[in-house]
Amino acid sequence: MSVRINPSILAADFVNLERDIAKISNADLVHVDIMDNHFVPNLTFGLQMTERIQQVSTIPLDVHLMITDPDRWAPDYADLGAYGVTFHAEAAADAVGLARTLRAKGARAGIAVKPGTPIEPYLELLEEFDQVLVMTVEPGFGGQSFMEETMPKLTLLRELVDKRGLDVWLQVDGGVDERTIEIAAAAGADTFVAGSSVYRGDDPSLRVSELRSKASAHRHAH
C-alpha cells in the first residue's frame, strides 16, 4: 500500500499558482477544490481556472467537486484531462452512473462523504469507484480541525477494500497535519490531502516529504 500526498492548492497563493505548484514537485497529485457557493458556503475555482492549472501543472490533478449537480458538471473536468474527479455522494443523483461516465472518459472516479454521512449505503458499490474520500472536516473552508470521529468509516472501508482485493484509494481531506496524518494512516487511509500544513512552511516540498514519512510509518497493518 503506497502513501500518496496530495497538497491542496486552496492553501497556495492564487496569484502565483504556477510557482506554488512547482514548490510541491514531489507531491503525488495536486488537489483542486471546486466549490460553488451552493453545496458549500464558499466559492473557489471553476472549469476555466482548472483548465489553466491543468496546462501549467507538471503534476496530475486530483479534482474534488463540492458542488450541486455533479452529474452535469463532473464529466467536463474529466474532459479537461484531470487524473481523478471526486464528487459528493450527497449531491449526486446517480453516483454509479456518474462514476462510470468519468471512468469512460479516462479519469479515476471518486466519491466523497461529509463527516455526518454514513458510508454503509456505498459499501456494496465499492468496485464502481477508484477512490473514496472521507471528509475529516465539514467541506467548505480550509484550516478546520480534524474530526477523529470519522475514523471508523475508514477502518470499515479499509477492511472491505482489502478483503475484496479492490484497487480503491482511501483519501482523507481536512485538518491533515503531522499529528493527524498518523491517526488517519493507522485507520486505513492511503491518500492524504493537506493544505495549510504543506504551504505554511518555507519549504512545501520538505513538508510533503515529512508528511509522507509520517503516514508511511503509521499506515494500517495488513
pLDDT above 90 covers what percent of the chain?
Answer: 93
Assign 201 a pLDDT band (cuts: 50, 70, 90): confident
Outline where the chain has alpha helix (H): 17-22, 47-56, 70-79, 95-104, 151-164, 180-187, 196-199, 204-218
Would you say residue 141 has pLDDT above 90?
no
pLDDT the model gives residue 144:
84
Categorize the per-residue pLDDT at 160 as very low, low, confident or very high, splitting at 50, 70 and 90.
Answer: very high
Q: Can you tell me the mean pLDDT for 118-127?
A: 97
What is the bridge-based pairing of β-strands 61-66 and 4-7? unpaired
Q: Examine the pLDDT at 142 and tell me if it is beyond 80.
A: no
Q: What is the pLDDT of residue 1?
A: 59
pLDDT, mean over the chain: 95
Top-confidence residue, 40 or 141: 40
- Our answer to whether residue 173 is catalytic in this structure is yes
Band of the pLDDT at 221, cuts 50, 70, 90? low
**Mean pLDDT across the stretch 93-100?**
98
Catalytic-role residue among 20, 28, 33, 190: 33
Asked if 33 is an active-site residue, the reply is yes
Q: How would residue 181 be classed by pLDDT, with cut points 50, 70 and 90?
A: very high
**Candidates 20, 36, 62, 173; catalytic one:** 173
